[in-house]
Amino acid sequence: MAVREVLRMGDPRLLRAARPVEAFSTPALHGLVRDLTDTMRHLNGAGLAAPQIGVDLQLVIFEVENNPRYPDAGKVPFTVLANPRLTPLSERMEEGWEGCLSVPGLRGLVPRYVSLRYQGFDADGRAIERTVEGFHARVVQHEVDHLLGILYPMRLRDLRNFGFTEVLFPGPDRNDG
């Protein structure tokens, strides 16, 4: 198990556009997925993108199941997604609270497309295509933004809806990122 250090906002490596994954099914790529998974689960993240651990590749993972950081979120299956493409299915957007392991201790109200199709590949190069909505769609948009060098505070419409998690949502299990 390798829990890696997560880069925090201010690090220029979080602001790059990531390079596509070109070699699938390699020990290096499987090792990277393992490290991302260990790190995400250790920190109770809903997702993690390779640039967040300093790796310049278009690779994200996500998973939501009984997550103490997102107690009200629906389930999202564990997914490894390389070279993703998102296609919103309507113009409709919805605001929802987001946090980020690269922006620890804070939450912000972020507009996202309500429903979308995403396409990409798993670590073995198998094609993935899903149509999703709600929190699942939100998580994918947040993670794919990391591959474009975008952190969620850059998406906020009103900075008054940005603050410390423990102040916004007082409670025993909500005092982390």
Active-site residues, by number, are: 143
User: Smallest distance, Å, CB 27 to Ni ion?
Assistant: 26
Residue 89: CB atoms within 10 A of its CB come to 14
With respect to Ni ion, which residue has the nearer C-beta, 89 or 150? 150
Label residue 25 exposed, middle or buried (CB < 10 Å: 0-12, 13-18, 19+).
exposed
With respect to Ni ion, which residue has the nearer C-beta, 57 or 100? 100
- For the chain, the first-to-last Cα distance in angstroms comes to 22
Total residues in contact with Ni ion, by rule CB under 5 A: 1
With respect to Ni ion, which residue has the nearer C-beta, 82 or 144? 144
Strand arrangement, sheet containing 59-64:
47-49, 59-64, 76-88, 115-121, 127-133
Q: Does 40 bind Ni ion (CB under 5 A)?
A: no
Dist CA 19 CA 52 (whole Å): 14
State which of positions 65-124 bind Ni ion (CB under 5 A): 100
User: Smallest distance, Å, CB 177 to Ni ion?
Assistant: 9
CB-closest chain residue to Ni ion: 100
User: Smallest distance, Å, CB 95 to Ni ion?
Assistant: 17
Dist CA 51 CA 149 (whole Å): 9
Interface with Ni ion by CB under 5 A: which residues?
Answer: 100
